[in-house]
Amino acid sequence: MKARTKFIVGGAGLFGIAGWLMVTSIRQTGVYYLTPQELSAKVAADSTFYDAGVKVGARVVPGSIQRSPGGIQVAFRVTDGAVTYPVEYRGLIPDTFTDSVDVVVEGRLGRDGTFHATTLLAKCASRYENAPDKYRQTPGYKSAEKRA
């Protein structure tokens, strides 16, 4: 066999293994990323979506956050405007987590309708960059405007 052919066989083998690893690990670790509305539709159509690992992206309902004293556990509700789910989470709470921020929770929807989150990511549109209209809403500026 020519070296070139051997190399191609080796390369194909390498890519085969990499591809196989990719396919299997997507199958095993890939997680649905849904909105609350999509999740409720999935659950209604197929009850195996209860207690299956999913990610839900939604917004925190203002005023719904109940932090346990000490702040290592939190309960809140998330919504996409159509469907609302209560969420329970225990672990380190991100600094940016607060009312009305967009969050991504990863975990399982229990049959009681509560989402048990194992990870909580808070995104804040104004985290690194803030839109000018949003900027006017920050507490420091409302008062600054009043004084001005």
Partner 1 sequence: MILIGELSLWVALLMAAWTTTVSFAGARLGRDDLVASGERGIYASFAFILLASMGLWTALLSHDFSFTYVASFTSANLPTLYTLTAFWAGQAGSLLFWALILSLYSAIAVFANRHRNRVLMPYVTGVLGATLLFFVATICFGANPYERLGWVPADGRGLNPQLQNPGMAFHPPNLYLGYVATTIPFAFAIAALITRKLDAEWLAAVRRWSLISWFFLTIGITLGMWWAYVELGWGGYWAWDPVENASFLPWLTGTAFLHSIMVQEKRGMLRKWNVVLVVTTFLLAILGTFITRSGVISSVHSFAQSPVGTWFVGFLAVAVGVTVWLVATRLKDLETKAGLESLLSREAAFLYNNLILVGIAFSVLWGTLFPILSEAVRGTKITVGPPFFNAVNIPLGLTLLLLTGIGPLIAWRRASAANLRRQFAAPAAAGVIALAFLAALGMRAGWALASYALGAFVAMTIVQEFAKGVGARRRLHGEGMAVAFVRLVGRNRRRYGGYIVHAGVVVLFAAFAGLAFKSEHDVTLTTGQAFEATDPYGHKWRFVSQGISQFEALNRQVTAIGLDATRDGRREGVIRSEKRQHVDSRGEATFEPSTEVGILEAPSQDVYVVLAGVRGQDTAELRISFNPLVWWVWYGGMIMAFGGLIVMWPQADPAGGRRGAARAQSGYRTTLDPAGAPAGSA
Q: Kindly list the residues in this chain that would bind partner 1 in the complex (CB under 8 A).
A: 3-4, 6-7, 10-11, 14-15, 17-18, 21-22, 24-26, 28-34, 38, 55, 57, 67, 69-72, 91-93, 95-98, 102, 104, 121, 123-125, 127-132, 135, 138-141, 143-145, 147-148
Q: How far is the CB of 117 from partner 1 (least distance, A)?
A: 14
**Pairing assessment for the beta strands 115-123 and 84-90 based on DSSP bridges:** parallel
For partner 1, the closer of residues 5 and 112 by Cβ is 5
Cβ closest to partner 1, residue 7 vs residue 112: 7
- In whole angstroms, give the CA distance from residue 99 to residue 143: 20
* Pair of tokens at residue 96: 């940016």
Q: Distance between CA 61 and CA 74 in Å, rounded?
A: 13
Q: Please identify, using beta-carbon distances, which residue of 112 and 131 lies nearer to partner 1.
A: 131
Start-to-end CA distance of the chain, whole Å, equals 83
